[in-house]
Structure 1
């Protein structure tokens, strides 16, 4: 084996290690960018809309998607170059984080829908209560006139 071939193998090995490290670092950054469990569970507000807005804010995945994309990019390059001896753990971690980001995004969307719906529902209920009160008042007036 020539010296050049030995150097190329050594360089390839270094590059493979650096790619794996890049994937691992990007996955760690994605994990860290996800919301903390307590920030989703413990929200404080004065009313339902405030709670929903706080929850929607807490469900922001931040830069997690960008970090996951970087991890996927380096992982794909490493896989295509056959640079990883065993990368099953990386593939599983990528899938786990991608699924979690999807779940958080879905929850955020549902909370957003509720945030848009609750004020209208409140308004409709207030109108209904007002009509109910007006009907009761009209019935009371009619009863008073009949007694007189």
Structure 2
């Protein structure tokens, strides 16, 4: 084997190692950008709408999607170049982080829906209570007249 091909093999091996490190680092950054469990669980507010708004804010995935995209990009490059000897763990980690990001985003959308629904529900319930009180007052007035 010539010196050139040995150097090329060594360079390819180094590049593969660096690529794997890049994927792992991007996955770590994606995990780090996800909301903290306590931030989602422990929210403080004066009313339901405040709690929902705080929860929606806490469920922001931040830069996690960008970091996941970087991990997937480097993983794809490494896979296509057949640079990884065993990349099953990377594929599993990518899928795991991707699923978690999707779950957090789904929860954020649900909270967003409640954030817009709760004020309307409150108004409707208050109107219903007012109508019921008016009907009761009218019934009482009719009884008093009779």
| Interval containing the TM-score (normalised by the shorter chain) | over 0.9
| Residue pairs, 1:54-73, within 5 angstroms | 54-73=54-73
User: Displacement, 1:141?
Assistant: 1.0
In the TM superposition, structure 1's runs of 4+ consecutive aligned residues that sit over 4 Å from their partners are: none
Return 5+ residue gaps in structure 1 as ranges: none
Q: TM-score, normalised by structure 2?
A: 0.99
Show structure 2 runs of 5+ residues with no match.
none
Structure 2 CA distance for aligned equivalents of residues 30 and 105 of structure 1: 14
The Cα of 1:115 is off from its aligned counterpart by: 0.5
Residue 25, structure 1, aligned to residue 28, structure 2: no
Q: Tell me whether 1:52 sits opposite 2:34 in the alignment.
A: no
State the partner residue of 2:132: 132
Residue 6 of structure 2 is aligned to residue 6 of structure 1: yes
**Cα displacement (A) at 1:66:** 0.4
CA distance in 2, matches of 1:87, 1:35: 27
Are residues 1:84 and 2:84 paired? yes
Per-residue Cα deviation, 1:47-69 (whole angstroms, up to 9, x for no partner): 10011101101111000000000
CA RMSD of aligned residues (A): 0.5
